[in-house]
Structure 1
Amino acid sequence: MSPMTRRTYSFLRTSRFLRPHIIALNKPPFAIPAYQIRAMSSGNPTSKMLTANPLKQIFSQESRPAMGVWQMLPGANISRILARSGADWVMVDCEHGNINDAAMHEAVPAIAALGVSPIVRIPDLQPWMVKRALDSGAHGILAPLIRTVEDVKNLVTAAKFPPEGKRGFGSPIAMQNFNPMPTFTEYLQQANGSLLTMVQIETQEALNSVEEIALLVDVIFIGPFDLGNNIGHPIIEGKMDPELDEAIERILRAAVTAGKKCGIFCTDGEQAKQYADKGFHMISVATDYTLLGAAMADSLTIARGQGKQDKPVSY
């Protein structure tokens, strides 16, 4: 160990600000023993990380579907409102939502602090985006617009620590968003088996390979709008073609056959109930954007004596 490395490590070991994050380390974080690296793929069901991931717990121990909500608007207070709603998970939407990197780092801990799983939809399948989302403490990631099996393999590589992948290790932030909080070593050893890797099936290419894709990830998630567009059967005024319904059923079958979970994006509770009855495991109920607009419109129409506003058409 060089003198500079020794001084740095000594500071980390004694700092009263950083010590809670490294107290369990017996060696410098940049010299992790080989036996610890081999243990990174541990999926022990009694591990601290598994216990601290509420969505993973629902998947493994409960028969009910996990209901969630989409966060598209930035702000930790919005995150807290959604997490307190009774949802099992909140999707922090960095693809189509107005949420940048800084807003993501505010949303994830706000959600996790209330015992709800924060899942981050990354903007694109870029390894650095995967790393930023997981380093923020997300309990899982969702990658949009997957096209090929190779895309999925690249995602898994970016999301997993060695030897299963190539994710870099070093953020002290991630483990703070789990309760009970794992140590550095526990996070390193248990993250691969505890964090959820999800992909959206919303292209013709991905649909063609969905049975193979399902074997590689924890959840395959359906984006009905882009899927309909990309297979030539767009959703128009809330109407779905039979071909799109068949594609959705095929994706669900692929997940069940592979022993994995299947999720779907819905726009309201009635629609979510229909998909729950069909056997889907992870279902969004609404987005913060639509909920806010609909609630305000309802209140205004009632206040003006016009009765409750007609429900907008959903797909």
Structure 2
Amino acid sequence: MRENRLRSLWASGAPAINGWLAIPNGFSAETMAHQGWDSLTIDMQHGMVDYQAMVGMLQAISTTPTVPLVRVPWLEPGILMKSLDAGAYGVICPMVNTREDAQKLVAWTSYAPRGTRSFGPVRALLYGGADYPQHADATIVRFAMIETAQALDNLDAILTVEGLDAVYVGPSDLSLSLGCKPTFDDVDPPVQQAIAHIVERATAHGLVAGIHNGTPEVARARLELGYRFATVSSDARLIASGSQQLLARMRADR
């Protein structure tokens, strides 16, 4: 089966730099993938991406060594299974607030006897290889999003769920849940404390901690804090910021 380079990076002690895809287009996904990201996450929760667009984007990413991930819309078995069947090598699941939520995530993304994932890896066989069914459970990566006060209260219980590989912090939702302004980078002190607490506890339990960031500077600081998976910006934001920089230079003398 094709290796999951995220697992290889983490095993070597290196962090992974993840890009974010909100634009529902195969060519833009392919262009991003050819820039050298360790992984790219197709956002089905807040992006404009539906299932058919996601499949084309996964196909586009597979022209490169970049690892294809999907953030599913919610903790729901159908979309988790279909995303993996389409060839996603990892899933990021929103709003995992309890140990029971994390157990469902693992069960729905694992074949029996560990879980209840239905068998039908139609495109995953093409991407992962003919032996995908034998190795999928140990190859794909399962991220539980920690983004609420309830999840913080239940953090250690969530982290003890067998088969969970990683947690992923959504700073904006976490900020809202803690009564603070929603933002990626310039978070309020209670959120910064929570961000430090999450990575400390994840590391103690032997899990990877990942986090969403707006700028490389903040992402690097969080990697130094112990995070091992850092998302920086998104395709849509990079188009906007690149355009703004170009236009500012072109209009500098006006």
TM range (shorter): over 0.9
1:251 aligned residue: 198
Structure 1, unpaired ranges of 5+: 1-47, 308-315
1:139-177 C-alpha deviation (Å, 9 max, x unpaired): 000101112111111111110000000101123211222
Displacement of 1:224 in angstroms is 0.4
* 1:268 and 2:215 matched: yes
Q: How many residues were matched structurally?
A: 252
Structure 2 residue matching 1:265: 3-state secondary structure:
strand
1:151-300 pair list within 5 angstroms: 151-178=101-128, 182-183=129-130, 186-216=131-161, 217-235=164-182, 239-300=186-247
1:256-305 C-alpha deviation (Å, 9 max, x unpaired): 01111000000111111111111210001111111000111111111112
* 1:107 and 2:107 matched: no
1:217-262 C-alpha deviation (Å, 9 max, x unpaired): 1010000000010121224696422111111111101110111100
Distance 1:108 1:304, change over 3 A: same
Distance 1:210 1:113, change over 3 A: same
Structure 2, unpaired ranges of 5+: none
1:51-73 C-alpha deviation (Å, 9 max, x unpaired): x211121122x222100110000
The whole-number CA distance in structure 2 between the counterparts of 1:210 and 1:194 is: 24
8 Å CA contact 2:184, 2:214 repeated in 1: no
Distance 1:55 1:239, change over 3 A: closer
The whole-number CA distance in structure 2 between the counterparts of 1:223 and 1:149 is: 18
1:16-31 pair list within 5 angstroms: none
Q: State the 4+ residue runs in structure 1 displaced beyond 4 angstroms.
A: none
Displacement of 1:215 in angstroms is 2.4
1:26-51 C-alpha deviation (Å, 9 max, x unpaired): xxxxxxxxxxxxxxxxxxxxxx34xx
2:9 aligned residue: 58
* 1:146 and 2:96 matched: yes
8 Å CA contact 1:235, 1:241 repeated in 2: no
Aligned-residue CA RMSD (Å): 1.6
Given residue 198 of structure 1, which amino acid in structure 2 is its aligned partner? F
Identity score, percent: 28
The whole-number CA distance in structure 2 between the counterparts of 1:267 and 1:241 is: 15
Given residue 56 of structure 1, which amino acid in structure 2 is its aligned partner? R
Distance 1:113 1:305, change over 3 A: same
Distance 1:306 1:177, change over 3 A: farther
The whole-number CA distance in structure 1 between the counterparts of 2:20 and 2:56 is: 15
Residue 88 of structure 1, aligned match among 28, 33, 38:
38
Q: TM-score, with normalisation over the residues of structure 2?
A: 0.95
Larger radius of gyration: 1
Given residue 162 of structure 1, which amino acid in structure 2 is its aligned partner? A
Given residue 177 of structure 2, which amino acid in structure 1 is its aligned partner? N
8 Å CA contact 1:113, 1:177 repeated in 2: no
The whole-number CA distance in structure 1 between the counterparts of 2:149 and 2:184 is: 22
